[in-house]
Structure 1
Amino acid sequence: MTTGVPTPTAPRRRSPARTILPLAVAAWLILEIWLLSLVAGAAGGGTVALLLAGGMVLGVVVIKRAGRRAFKNLTETFQQAQTGAAPTPQQPGTGNGLTMLAGLLLILPGLLSDVAGLFLLLPPVRTWISRRTARAVERKMASAPAGTFGDAFQQARIHYPDGKVVQGEVIREDRPQGSGPAPGSDAGGYRPPLTP
C-alpha cells in the first residue's frame, strides 16, 4: 500500500492585469460619474444630456465612415489580387481599427471616454499608437516559446510568404511491399494523379 503524501503545490499567481483591470474599470466608472455630476451641477442636466447625445452621434458617424473606408480598401485589395498586382502596403496609423475604437469611445456615455475618443481621432496619435502596438506584438511574437500559436504564425510567415497552398497526399515508402494496403486507403487500388 502506498501512502498518499500530498505534493506541495504553489498557488497559481494571478497576473497583474487580472488584478489591476477590474480596479481600473471601477475607478474609471466612478470618475466618469463624478465628472458628469460636476458638469450637471455647473451647467445643468440639459447640457450633460446634449454632450452625451452629441458624443453618441459623432461616434456613430466616425464608425460608419471608418467602416465604409475599410470596405472600400477590402474591395480594392480583392480587385488588385484578381488582376495579379501586388497589394499596396498600408502606412502605419491609416488603418480603420483605431478610428473605430475612437468612435466606440465617443459612443460610450461619459466625458473621459469622449475626450479619449477625440484624442484618438488625431492622425499623429493614431500613428504613434499603431507603431507602438506593432513593436509590442513583434516583440511578443519573437519571444514566444516554440510550439505556441505565435511560433506557428511566425513559421507560416517565414516558409510560405505568398500564402499558396499545394494540395497533395503523403505516400509512405518505408512499408514492406507484402504488408497490404495502407490503413485508410481504398485497398491500394487506383490513385488519381496530383495534377488536375
Structure 2
Amino acid sequence: MAQRRGNLWLALTGLGLLLYVVAEVAALIWVAGEIGWWTLLILLGSSLIGIFLLQREWKKAWGALSESLGTGQLPSGQLADATLILIGGTLLVLPGLLSDIAGALLLLPFTRPFVRSAVSWWATRTLQRNGMAPVVIKGETVQQPDTIIPGISPAKTDDETTVVEGTIIEPGDPRT
C-alpha cells in the first residue's frame, strides 16, 4: 500500500512539473506574441532584480535569525522567512514569467507574511489529517535544588536540579 502511494505521489509530481513547463512555455509564447523581443528584456530584468532582492532580503533575514539565536529565542518566523527568501530568489533567477511571479510573491516583504501564513495553515492541516497534531505542554520552569521526583532523572546544571511542572493536554481537550 505504501509503495502504491509513493508511486502515485511520484506520478502526480511528474505530471505537475510537466504541466508547469507547458504553462511556462505557453505564457512566454503569448507574451512574446504580444510585445515581441521585449520579452527577453523582461526575463533578463526579472533575473537581475531577483538577484538584487535575494541578496538584500537574505541579509535582513540572516540578521534577524542571528539576533534571535543570540538572544536565545526560537527563530520560528525568521527561519520560515529565510526559507521563503531562498525559494523566491531561486524562482526569480530561473527564466520564466510564472516563476518570476511566484518568486516575487515570496521575496517581497509585504507579500511574504501572507505566503508564510498560508504555508503554515496548510502544514498544520496536513499534520492534523495524518494524526500528527502537536501536543501542547503548558507549564513553567521552577528551580528547586533539593527536590527529586522518583522515576525522573533530573537535568543538572551547576549542582542545581531543574524541575518542570506542567499539565499534558491531549488534542481535542476543551482547555486548549
TM-score normalised by structure 1 residue count: 0.55
Q: Which residue does 1:112 correspond to in 2?
A: 98
Q: Which residue does 2:47 correspond to in 1?
A: 56
Give 1:36 shift. 0.9
Give secondary structure in 1 for the equivalent of 2:4.
coil
* Equivalent runs, 1:10-159 vs 2, <5 Å: 12-15=3-6, 16-45=8-37, 47-81=38-72, 87=73, 91=77, 95-120=81-106, 121=108, 122-136=111-125, 138-139=127-128, 143=132
Distance, in Å, in 1 between the alignment partners of 2:127 and 2:78 is: 14
Gap runs ≥5 in structure 1: 1-9, 82-86, 145-153, 163-194
Larger radius of gyration: 1
Distance, in Å, in 2 between the alignment partners of 1:37 and 1:44 is: 9
Identity within the alignment, %: 27
Tell me: CA distance 1:19–1:94, structure 2 relative to 1, closer, same or farther (3 Å).
Answer: closer
Give 1:98 shift. 1.5
Amino acid at match of 2:87: L
Tell me: CA distance 1:106–1:37, structure 2 relative to 1, closer, same or farther (3 Å).
Answer: same
Aligned residues: 137
Distance, in Å, in 2 between the alignment partners of 1:93 and 1:79 is: 14
Distance, in Å, in 2 between the alignment partners of 1:66 and 1:72 is: 10
Give 1:20 shift. 0.8
Give secondary structure in 2 for the equivalent of 1:95.
helix
Distance, in Å, in 1 between the alignment partners of 2:99 and 2:114 is: 16
Gap runs ≥5 in structure 2: 142-157, 159-176
Tell me: CA distance 1:141–1:76, structure 2 relative to 1, closer, same or farther (3 Å).
Answer: farther
Conserved in 1, the CA contact under 8 Å of 2:65 and 2:79? no
Give 1:50 shift. 0.9
Amino acid at match of 1:104: T
